[in-house]
Amino acid sequence: MYDFDRIVERRGTDSVKWQRYGDGVLPLWVADMDFAAPPPVIKALQERVAHGIFGYGVEPPDLRPLLVEHLERRYGWRVSPRAVLFLPGVVPGFNLAVQAVTRPGDGVLLQTPVYFPMLDAPGHAGCTLDGMELTRRADGRYEIDFDAFEAAITDRTRIFLLCNPHNPVGRVYRRDELERMAEICLRHDLIICSDEIHCDLVFPGHRHLPIASLDPEIGARTITLMAPSKTYNIAGIHASIAVVEDEGLRKRFLAARRGLIPRLDVLGYTAMLAAYRDGQPWLDALLPYLTANRDFVADFVAAHLPGITLAKPEGTYLAWLDCRQAGIPGNPHRFFLEKARVALNDGATFGPGGEGFVRLNFACPRATLREALERMRAALTDLER
């Protein structure tokens, strides 16, 4: 029913992914997919547009119960309908969380390398970034040094920004890892804000578990951010949710809007409702395709990109490539852009531990992915000559 091999022309469509680097460059960088959104989402938006009036909207009555049911069915996580809040994006969400629970001079705990807008959130609130690096094993898989995690917490640290599934390293944290992080945060009286935007994009053998679902005490001190944007490829339609179970924390979070963060517009509500109500068959077809793309990248890197290593991501559609042993002069992002005409994310932008890495988005038709990797192989071959 769904042809993920079909190449949809995105040039000339005001796409930041395809426009930033110009013609002749294959963009495998920013995290949106080169697949058409689920047909039910497109149909719902078409019907709403055909109505022709775009006045101020209200939350559809079916949406909140649908989201509550979705969380319980998928994660066994029971939340009150009052705990679900609507936001125009996850990035505003974790910035709101920091603004809500800190004062200037307080600290924000982060694990690097990490999604780069998270690195900016402490500064926006006049806070310090209390960072610790994830530990990269010899096989490329990342783990948490819990002694370093706790040592990064100071008497001014107020909130921990968690990214799970982790962007860019691709980890889906196990229950025991989440429990250990939560226990440390509770002991140090930290709020947890968990960016779980990639929660539906998890590969076989792994399972996403919201950290707030572990225990009521943890849930009461957690702000969880989710969205249909990555899952159903509707990132350009700004619609996300925050789940805040504790009433007091919820009031603080809502007060931090300060009239600056809007609610969803009518198209955001329309797309979110259609995605969660009718998008599962599309997602069920997408995940095996993404799994095969992930494996294709891993096999190609191992066989044809000497000096570059990759641990298969457990979630997301992002491959974190270690280029430090490839003999690339200077920045690998710049090298592949100039020599291969392939645009990747510069690992250095993800903070300490990201230098010498690039992030590759493999959510595209296989032919596009193959061409990009072949270009990268040719660039490395020329480098060896």
What percentage of the chain has pLDDT greater than the value 70? Answer: 100
Query: Which CATH number describes the domain made up of 16-39+280-384?
Result: 3.90.1150.10
Would 16-39+280-384 and 53-278 be classified into the same CATH topology? no
Please determine, for residue 116, whether its predicted confidence score (pLDDT) is greater than 90: yes
Among 143-147, 335-339, 368-372, 380-384, the range scoring the smallest mean pLDDT is 380-384
Calculate helix-pair angle for 366-384, 280-304, nearest 10 degrees: 20
Closest to 126 in 3D by CA, of 105, 110, 108: 105
* pLDDT of 385 over the 90 cut: no
Distances in whole angstroms, Cα of residue 208 to Cα of each of 71, 199, 211: 12, 6, 9
115, 167 Cβ separation under 8 angstroms: yes
Q: How confident is the model at residue 251 (pLDDT cuts 50, 70, 90)?
A: very high
Question: Could you tell me which of 12, 31, 15, 41 has the C-alpha nearest to residue 364?
Answer: 31
> Which segments of the chain does DSSP mark as H helices, in order?
16-19, 39-51, 63-75, 90-101, 116-124, 146-151, 175-187, 216-219, 247-255, 266-278, 280-304, 332-335, 366-384
* pLDDT at 143 > cutoff 90: yes
Q: How many CB atoms lie within 10 A of CB 235?
A: 20
Domain ranges within the chain, ordered by starting residue:
16-39+280-384, 53-278
Residue 384's pLDDT is what?
Answer: 79
Confidence of residue 255 (pLDDT cuts 50, 70, 90): very high
d(CA 316, CA 33): 11
78-111: pLDDT as tens digits: 999 999 999 999 999 999 999 999 999 999 999 9
Banded model confidence at residue 1, pLDDT cuts 50, 70, 90: confident
Instruction: Output the pLDDT for position 133.
Output: 98
Closest CA to 238 of 90, 120, 363, 115: 90
CATH classification (class only), 53-278: alpha beta
Contact 368, 374 (CB under 8 A): no
The pLDDT, as a whole number, for residue 356 is: 98
Task: State how far Cα 236 lies from the chain centre.
Answer: 14
Burial class, 318, CB count within 10 angstroms (exposed 0-12 / middle 13-18 / buried 19+): buried
How far apart are the C-alpha atoms of 114 and 137, rounded to whole Å? Answer: 17
